[in-house]
Amino acid sequence: MRFTRLGTGRMLLACLLVVCSAVPRADTALPAAAIATAHPLATDAGVSVLSQGGNAFDAAVAVTATLGVVEPYSSGLGGGGFWLLHRASDGYQIMVDGRETAPQAAHRDMYLSKAGVVLPRQSVDGPLSAGIPGVPAALEHIARRYGRLPLAKSLQPAIELARRGFAVTPEYRRMAGFRLSALEQSPAAAAVFLDQGTVPDDGYLIRQPDLGRTLEAIAGHGGDGFYRGPVAAALVQGVRQAGGIWTAEDLHRYTVVERQPVSGSFRDLRIVSASPPSSGGVALVTMLNVLAGFDLAGVEPVTRTHLIVEAMRLAYRDRAEHLGDPDFIPVPTERLTGQQHADGLRREIRLDRATASAALPVPGPEGADTSHFSIIDRHGNRVAATLSINYPFGSAFMPAGTGVLLNDEMDDFSAKPGAPNVYGLVGGDANAIAPGKRPLSSMSPTFVESQGGVAVLGTPGGSRIISMVLLGILDLSAGRGPDSWVALPRFHHQYLPDVVQHEPGALDEPLRAALQQLGHRLHALSGRYGNMQAVYWDRLGGQVLAASDPRGQGKALVWRVDEGPQAPVPRQKRDGKAMESHGQ
């Protein structure tokens, strides 16, 4: 890893450090641990578990459970996620798939009217939109198989916060305002998340005693505390009374699946990312394979942006056509991530004009809300995890007495394969609804490894997740550090609709004009998107860095044992060395 744009003095210092340390440090001797999450209380929970002798996996359990308490609009016990793990002792890497599953009574046309028209709100609001949650099973699985601490210890910070309460922030208010009418439909959810039917003020304490008790049941009985017994009974009763289709059997049957991550390379970098039922790893590796055939550093910005957009377009086309739950459909992962396929895609790209996206399947609509965290401990164990309940506050439905806000991840299936949905998008047959099936995801927890260092990164953001991680990897490959990856202005193309979406500041006026000349249709977004959390172990430089997206309210922290558990690292300054941030 080289950080370009470091001053000459600092370059010299970096070289001296490399020479003086002679060999890269072993995996068991990182100078510090690091955690970046979307909420300061979740970062603190992770550090507290590390300080009690826990490893990165224990910290991941603590962070997952705590995010579910303090970021209820993004993830939680009622949702799912993917946890990408690296065990330092033997280099073992695995993805824990805790994605939600469709209930057994779900069927392909469940969101269609008799006339075959998509009923949009039914897959978004209320209990019919909820898949069977995976987070509780994943918590137990990760703690038991990979952690060093008892599950009960790692869940303690979340239990305390659920009981004690957390303070409403402007972000909370924005999300609750967006989902106010849906939250009002669920008395239990409204009682917890609203203040007498209105969006609470900043600083108002959200207390969740029922959620605290459910977390305690998991602490005491593992997954059985959720999928069996009184909590399971209350979940099923609440869902069915409100018109949902869950059964006790659905909950009993839920299991996490360990899957081989998708891997690939880009120049000197090894990429390890999420495998199906996420589309993230496959799409990322495809895009990087395509782009590896071009000299991105040597071309003008307009050509560079054009090539990246074209690579996004082609990979998202594959996504729509081929990707779904590999336990239900054959997913040609090897072919899609192979060089031959990339060579073929590259030949479809013209340097002098944008490709017109034809009317082929595209990704289903995904919520912009989800959460990512990245952890590395002092032994070199790592976790990249992206968690979701889909839309802000998920389905906005909470079965009484459970404190569990249910996801609306069923909306990530194609409600009507092959036909446009309410957003003007169409989804692939591979992602049609079936009992027990996992909906296609874009969540892309990722490791990027090289001789020089190891990055752990990811972000929420629905279908834009993959393109954000791509831009982050390209920025890393260009020699910049995590502060830059999380902050850089973003652009996105997902095949259809055939537009380049871009954040304010991502494409300057001359670049926009040149892209339009090439035939690209541009869509300027009024706001910014994503909430990337990244940590980086700079092996050669002997430092650990962490960064949290300035778009969010997260906290990145580099923790050395001797500094105690609370050593926040100011933005732009990590390990005493200023890092420069540069846009795309």
**Residues belonging to the active site:** 370
Residue spans of alpha helices (H) in 179-300: 180-184, 187-193, 209-221, 224-227, 229-241, 248-253, 280-291
Pairing of strands 371-376, 33-37: antiparallel
Told to check if 503 binds ligand GLY by CB under 6 A, we report no
Among 367, 399, 452, 458, the residue binding ligand GLY under the rule CB under 6 A is: 367
How far apart are the C-alpha atoms of 551 and 458, rounded to whole Å?
14
Nearer to ligand GLY by Cβ, of 374 and 584: the residue is 374
How many other C-beta atoms lie within 10 A of the C-beta of residue 49?
Answer: 30
Q: Which of 574, 545, 542 is nearest to 18 (CA)?
A: 542
Which of 100, 366, 475, 503 binds ligand GLY (CB under 6 A)? It is 366
- Least distance in angstroms from the C-beta of 284 to ligand GLY: 13
How long, in residues, is the chain?
584
Phi, psi (degrees; rounded to nearest 5) at 564: 80, 175
273 binds ligand GLY (CB under 6 A): no
The distance of closest approach from Cβ of residue 127 to ligand GLY in the complex, given in angstroms and rounded to an integer, is 17
Binding mask 395-434 for ligand GLY (x = CB under 6 A): --------------x--x----------------------
The single residue among 357, 441, 531, 584 that binds ligand GLY, judged by CB under 6 A, is: 441
Q: Taking CB under 6 A as the rule, does residue 100 contact ligand GLY?
A: no
Q: Of residues 390, 402, 543, 548, which one binds ligand GLY by CB under 6 A?
A: 390
DSSP 100-113: -B--TT--TTTTB-
Between β-strands 500-502 and 522-524, what pairing exists: parallel, antiparallel or unpaired?
A: parallel
Closest approach, Cβ 376 to ligand GLY, in A, equals 24
Using alpha carbons, list the distances in angstroms from residue 7 to 16, 452, 578, 580.
Answer: 14, 19, 11, 10
User: Which residue type is seen at 270?
Assistant: R
Nearer residue to ligand GLY within complex by CB, 103 or 364: 364
Closer residue to ligand GLY in complex, CB, 367/399: 367
The CA–CA distances, whole Å, from 84 to 5, 17, 376, 386 equal: 31, 31, 12, 9
If the CB atoms of residues 153 and 319 are measured against ligand GLY, the closer one turns out to be: 319
From 148-156, 157-165, 440-448, 491-499, span contacting ligand GLY (CB under 6 A): 440-448
* Contacting residue, 337, 370, 467, 494, with ligand GLY by CB under 6 A: 370
* Distance between CA atoms of residues 561 and 8, nearest Å: 32
Residue 22, number of CB atoms within 10 A of its CB: 6
Give the angle subtended at the CA of 158 by the CAs of 157 and 162, to the nearest 5°: 120
Decide whether 412 or 498 has the Cβ nearer to ligand GLY. Answer: 412
User: Which is closer to ligand GLY, CB of 101 or CB of 442?
Assistant: 442
| Distance of closest approach, residue 308 Cβ to ligand GLY, in angstroms | 21
Check residue 129 for interaction with ligand GLY (CB under 6 A). no
The CB-of-469 to ligand GLY minimum distance in angstroms stands at: 12
Minimum Å gap between C-beta 370 and ligand GLY is 5
Cα–Cα distance measured from residue 6 to residue 271, given in angstroms and rounded to the nearest whole number: 25
Which one of the spans 9-17, 188-196, 365-373, 416-424 is the region binding ligand GLY (CB under 6 A)? Answer: 365-373
Contact 383, 375 (CB under 8 A): yes
Encoded amino acid at 87, one letter:
R
**Least distance from C-beta 441 to ligand GLY, angstroms?**
3
Nearer to ligand GLY, 159 or 443 (CB): 443
Nearest to 549 by CA among 567, 563, 531, 571: 531
**Quick one: which segment of 253-261, 364-372, 377-385, 418-426 binds ligand GLY (CB under 6 A)?**
364-372
How many residues line the site for ligand GLY (CB under 6 A)? 11
- Binds ligand GLY by CB under 6 A, chosen from 443, 506, 557, 579: 443
Does residue 363 bind ligand GLY (CB under 6 A)? no
Number of Cβ within 10 Å of residue 435's Cβ equals: 14
Q: Looking only at residues 455 through 494 of this chain, which bind ligand GLY when binding is defined by CB under 6 A?
A: 462
Q: What is the rounded distance in angstroms from the CA atom of residue 570 to the CA atom of residue 376?
A: 18
Residue tagged 């500041």 (tokens): 505
Q: Which is nearer to ligand GLY, 323 or 506 (CB)?
A: 323
- To ligand GLY, the closest distance from the beta carbon of 74 in angstroms equals 10
Residue 36 near residue 546 (C-beta atoms within 8 A): yes
CA–CA distance, 60 with 383 (Å, rounded to integer): 7
Cβ closer to ligand GLY: 428 or 541?
Answer: 428
Give the start-end residues of each E strand in 355-452: 371-376, 382-388, 446-449
Taking CB under 6 A as the criterion, the residue among 371, 374, 381, 388 binding ligand GLY is 388
In angstroms, what is the minimal distance from the CB of 22 to ligand GLY? Answer: 44
Q: How far is CA 167 from CA 69, 138, 164, 173, 193, in A?
A: 11, 27, 10, 11, 11
Please check whether residue 47 is in contact with residue 559, taking contact to mean a CB–CB distance below 8 angstroms.
yes
Contact segment (CB under 6 A) with ligand GLY among 90-98, 158-166, 312-320, 435-443 equals: 435-443
Compute the half-sphere exposure of residue 312: CA atoms within 13 Å on the CB side of its CA. 30
Closest to ligand GLY by CB, 370 or 533: 370
573 has which bridge partners? 578
| Binding residues for ligand GLY (CB under 6 A) | 366-367, 370, 388, 390, 409, 412, 441-443, 462
